Chain A
C-alpha cells in the first residue's frame, strides 16, 4: 500500500527533552500537512506500532492568513495548512519553530512577537482628547499599494525563524516587527507617532541589530518586502539621528 511517511519532533512539555517519532498514513492525493496531521491524530500509532499521545499542533484559518500552523517542514519554516504533501520529499520532517519556546510538540508560544510589536508602538491611536482626524485620512493610490504589501503580515514568525540575529537569547525584535513600524509610520494618523516609533527601533534590539543576511525576505509566505522596509527605515533613522543631533529642519 502506498503511504505518506512522517518524522515528527515531539516534546511533552516546555521543560522535557525533545524526541523524534515516525508515522505513516495511507496515501491520498491532495493532502496538506494539517489534514495529514489530522489523520495521524485519528489513530496515533507510530511506525513501530506503538500507540502514543496524539501530536499537538495549532491551526485556525486553513487559508494561510492566521499564521497559527507555522512550523518547520523539511527544514523550511512555512504554514502547514498551505503546504501540499504531494510537493514534499518524504519522509516529511516536521519540527516546531526553533526561535520560540515550545509548549508541546509542534505548538510554540509566539507571544514575544506581540510584546515586541508593543515595544515599537506598532499600533495607531485613533482616539484622543480631540478629534484626531477630520474626515477620513487620505492616502495616494501609490502609497496605498505599497502599504498593502506590509499589511498582509500575519505574525507567523517564519522570518524570525531564519533570521540569524533573532533568538530567545537576543533582544532583536526581528524583521516583521520592523516592517510593522514602516507600515504604521506610513499611515496618516499613525505618522503622528513616527518619531516615537523610530526612537524605539533605534534602541537595543532595534534596527541596527539587523545583520543584513536577508534570509527573512526569502521565506516570508506573504512575500513582504522586509529588506526594503529595513532599508527605508535605515534612511528614516539616519535622518532622525541628524534631527536629534543637530535639530529639526522645519
Chain B
C-alpha cells in the first residue's frame, strides 16, 4: 500500500510548516529579544549581548544548521508553493483571504529584506572587523537614516505578520484547532503575539538611536 512516507509531497509540506516555526520563527523571537537589549547602551550590548553570542562554541555550525539552512529550505519550498495558488485578490474580500495573500506577498518581501539585512550586518562583518567589533555603532549609524529605519520597520512588521498568520494556519493544518470557535480563539492569541513581538522589535530598534 502506498503510504504517506513514500510520498514526499505531504512530508515536505509539513517540514515547510514546521521549519517556519522551529527553528526559523523561534530564532526570530530570540533575535528580537536579543536586540531589545540595545537600550542598555553600546558597552553592554557589544560586550554582554553580542560578545556572549560570538563567544559560543560551534557558532558557525549553529548559524548554518539552526538558522541559514532551515530558513533557505522554508523560503525555497515557499516559493514553490506560490505556484499552486491563483491571484484573486479583487474577489473575495474576506479577512483570511486577505491574509492568505499577505502571507505570500510578505514571504517574498521578507526574503528581499533579509538579503539586505543579513548582507549589511553578518556578511559584511566577515570582511569588515569594525562592524563586528562595534555592532551597536554600526546599527546606530544605519538606523539613524530615516529611509533605512522605515525599511527595517517594514521588514519587522512583515516578518511578524508572516510568523503570526503562519502560526494561525499551522494550527489548522496540523489539526490543533478544528472548530470555528477554537480557530477564532487561536486567532486572537496570534494577534496578541503579533502586538507583543512588534513592541519588542520596535523597542530594540529605538534602543539603538534614542
A interface with B by C-beta (< 8 Å): 75, 162, 164-165, 167, 170, 172, 196, 198-199, 202-204, 206-215, 218, 225, 227-228, 230-241, 244-245
Residues of B within 8 A of A237 (CB): 4, 10, 175
Chain B residues whose C-beta falls within 8 Å of the C-beta of A240 in the assembled complex: 4
Expressed in whole angstroms, the Cα–Cα distance for A228 and B4 within the complex equals 22
With A164-B88, A215-B92 known, 14 other A-B pairs at CB within 8 A are: A164-B92, A199-B3, A202-B9, A203-B4, A204-B7, A206-B10, A207-B173, A208-B10, A211-B84, A218-B92, A227-B180, A231-B182, A232-B175, A241-B14
B177→A213 contact, CB < 8 A = no
Q: How far is the CA of A172 from the CA of B86 in the complex (A)?
A: 12
CB distance from B85 to the nearest CB of A (A): 5
The answer to whether B7 touches A203 (Cβ under 8 A) is yes
Q: Give B90's nearest chain A residue, CB to CB.
A: A75
Q: In the complex, are the beta carbons of B94 and A208 less than 8 A apart?
A: no
Among residues of B, the one whose C-beta sits closest to the C-beta of A210 is B173
The A interface, classified by DSSP as helix, strand, loop or mixed, is: helix
A162-B91 in contact (CB<8A): yes
CA distance A218 to B99 in the complex (A): 15
A225 touches B86 (CB 8 A): no
Asked if B178 contacts A232 (CB within 8 A), the reply is yes
Query: Which of B84, B99, B183 sits near A231, CB closer than 8 Å?
Result: B183
In B53-100, the 8 Å CB interface with A consists of 84-88, 91-92, 94, 96-97, 99-100
Number of interface residues of B (CB under 8 A): 38
| CB of A165 to closest CB in B, whole Å | 5
Q: Is the CB of B1 within 8 A of A199?
A: yes
Cβ of A224 to closest chain B Cβ, rounded Å: 12
Which of B13, B172, B183 has the most C-beta atoms of chain A within 10 angstroms of its own C-beta? Answer: B172
A196 to B, closest residue via Cβ: B1
Which of B96-146 touch A at CB < 8 Å?
A: 96-97, 99-101, 103
Instruction: Say yes or no: A230 contacts B172, CB within 8 Å.
Output: yes
Instruction: List residues of B (158-182) whose CB comes within 8 Å of A's CBs.
Output: 168-169, 172-180, 182
Complexed CA–CA distance, A240 and B1 (Å): 14
**Chain B positions within 8 Å of A239 at CB level:** 175
Most chain B CB neighbours (cut-off 10 Å) among A165, A212, A215: A212
